[in-house]
Amino acid sequence: MYDNYDDVTYAKRERARPVSRSLFVFLTLFTLWWMLLLFFNRFPGIDLSVAQYAFTATPCHGVSPAGKICGAFELARNPLFKIARGITLALPYIAIAVLITTLVSSWRRYGIGWRSVGTDRSIAALLSLAVGCGLIVNTLLKGHSGRPRPRSTDLFGGGLDFVQAGSFAGKCLGNCSFISGEASSGGWLLCLVLLLPPRLRLRLGIPLALISVLMPIMRVLTGAHYLSDAVLGWLLSLVIFAGAIALLDFMQSRSPARA
């Protein structure tokens, strides 16, 4: 699933740089993530405007409290969206199986010399999925951020107050809106393009990129997440993946066997 690299040349080149390319990419993406969080926090109207666009208001039936907003995110009921979501949810599991199979095959074929820059990229992908999508997004942030999903707020037919991105003052008790787990899975799928052989990057890379972008868009249009949740979730996977690569590159460049 990955290219063949000249590990010795790569390690020497990375060690010769004051700041490695992979570390520079990580720091750039890391800074961009925090800048976007600050931007969405300071301008919450962007989240509300996008959610309002996807929301269809309807008259309230029966006895409703004054000021009650009724309606729904109609695309959440669209059968095509449901089918597309089922397919996209399965893709990360397929990718995990391919990555593990690739690593095991490399180990069985080369033995003690199985590690390469290519295999390290696959290891970085698995690490970033576990740390980013698994630990940071779905366990820490979604479990404790407190931000209600759009469809759960009183502005869009729910009962909870809206809070802006980055605020932990919301009353969601679990599986909250900040940030999107499926968007982070979509961002992770985009990272896999770097692992594809050059001959497959055009044929498989473009569909992967489209699916990667489609996943957060669907979550926003169905009222499951605000735009900021989707953008920050998607980008976080790129940040963690770049960080994993930078760490492995640093360890590789300091390895005596590859010096």
Least confident of 1-15, 45-59, 76-90: 1-15
Residue 99, domain member (yes or no)? yes
For residue 160, what are the β-bridge partners?
Answer: 153
What average pLDDT does range 52-77 have in this prediction?
86
Instruction: Tell me what pLDDT residue 214 has.
Output: 95
Cα separation, 85 vs 230, whole angstroms: 15
Phi, psi (rounded to 5 degrees) for 165: -60, 135
Of the pLDDT bands very low, low, confident and very high (cuts 50, 70, 90), residue 61 is confident
Supply the range of the domain harboring residue 85.
7-14+81-258
Q: Is residue 252 part of a domain?
A: yes
Under the banding of pLDDT at 50, 70 and 90, the label for residue 59 is confident
Structural domain tally of the chain?
A: 1
On whether residue 233 sits in a domain, the answer given is yes
Q: Tell whether omega for the bond before 96 is within 30 degrees of 0, i.e. cis.
A: no
With respect to residue 199, please indicate whether it lies within any of the assigned structural domains: yes
d(CA 52, CA 89): 26
What is the pLDDT at residue 147? Answer: 97
Q: Going by C-beta distance under 8 Å and a sequence separation of 6 or more, which residues neighbour residue 251?
A: none
What average pLDDT score do residues 115-125 get? 82
Residue 198 located in a structural domain? yes
- Asked if 211 and 182 count as a contact pair (C-beta separation under 8 A), the reply is no
Phi, then psi, of 225 in degrees rounded to 5: -150, 155
Task: Convert the pLDDT of each residue in 143-191 to its tens digit.
Answer: 999 999 999 999 998 999 999 999 999 999 989 999 999 999 999 999 9
Residues 79-86, mean pLDDT to the nearest whole number:
92
pLDDT at 64: 66
Q: How confident is the model at residue 88 (pLDDT cuts 50, 70, 90)?
A: very high
Q: Is the pLDDT of residue 70 over 80?
A: yes
pLDDT at residue 163, as a whole number = 96
Token pair listed for 75: 């695309």
Query: Which residues have CB under 8 Å from 71's CB, separation 6+?
Result: 55, 56, 57, 58, 156, 157
pLDDT in tens, 201-258: 889 999 999 999 999 999 999 999 999 999 999 999 999 999 999 998 887 776 655 4
Task: Show the 3-state SS of the chain.
Answer: CCCCCCHHHHHHHHHHCCCCHHHHHHHHHHHHHHHHHHHHHHCCHHHHHHHHHHCEEECCCCCCCCCCCEEECHHHHCHHHHHHHHHHHHHHHHHHHHHHHHHHHHHHHHHHHCCCHHHHHHHHHHHHHHHHHHHHHHHHHHHHCCCCCHHHEHHHCCCECCCCCCCCCCCCCCCCCCCCHHHHHHHHHHHHHHHCCHHHHHHHHHHHHHHHHHHHHHHHHCCCCCHHHHHHHHHHHHHHHHHHHHHHHHHHHCCHHHC
Work out the pLDDT band at 19, boundaries 50, 70, 90. low
Query: Does 216 map to a domain?
Result: yes
Q: Using 50, 70 and 90 to split pLDDT, how confident is the model at 50?
A: very high
Per-residue pLDDT, averaged over 37-59, amounts to 96
Residue 68, in any domain of the structure: no
Confidence of residue 133 (pLDDT cuts 50, 70, 90): very high
pLDDT at residue 200 in the model: 86
pLDDT at 68 (0 to 100): 85
Kindly state whether residue 241 falls inside one of the protein's structural domains.
yes
